[in-house]
Amino acid sequence: MATLNRWTPIEEALSLRDAMSRLFEDSFVAPASIGGRVSNLGVEMNVYENEHGFAVEASVPGLKPEDLDITLQDNVLTVSGEFREEKPTEGATVHRVERRFGRFSRSVALPTMVKSDQVSASLENGILRLEIPKAEEVKPRKISIQAGNQAQLTGEKTREVGK
């Protein structure tokens, strides 16, 4: 005996929608490889902030300090450089090339004014670390409040309300 299944167009429409979403994400959001080479040369960055400044960590595996260029202008931090292509040994058959190579540039706008002349940078184990101090005018300041009796005892003028 044959089993009959009820046709539900909603389920088919949802599966088509899911397929289109996956196609869009695979094609535009996270491009795979083009011609055997990865086309996305972005550099992953983490930006942290505290009361004194910003800390930036960027993944730049395999690069040396001379391969990088770091600029800070108008509160926009730019890290650029080049991943160089490594040639396979002679006589080797290449089956897959996934490591990226080529020029890259990544810019991040910092939300407050910083001291661009006091930035420090270090590179260790493929992680670029930057310490960027905030400008003095944007750092939080502790403002002390004096009680009414203490203000009079220190000789400071006080203003009475209503006069």
DSSP assignment of 52-119: SEEEEEEE-TT--GGGEEEEEETTEEEEEEEEPPPPPPTTPPP----S--EEEEEEEE-SS-B-GGG-
Convert the pLDDT of each residue in 109-135 to its tens digit: 999 899 989 999 999 999 999 999 998
pLDDT of 21 > 90? The answer is no
Retrieve residue 148's tokens.
């009414």
Least confident piece of the model among 50-54, 82-86, 127-131: 82-86
Convert the pLDDT of each residue in 85-118 to its tens digit: 888 888 888 888 777 788 888 889 999 899 989 9
Q: What domains, with CATH codes, occur in the chain?
A: 37-138 (2.60.40.790)
- Tallying the residues shown for the chain, one arrives at 163
pLDDT of 154 > 80? The answer is no
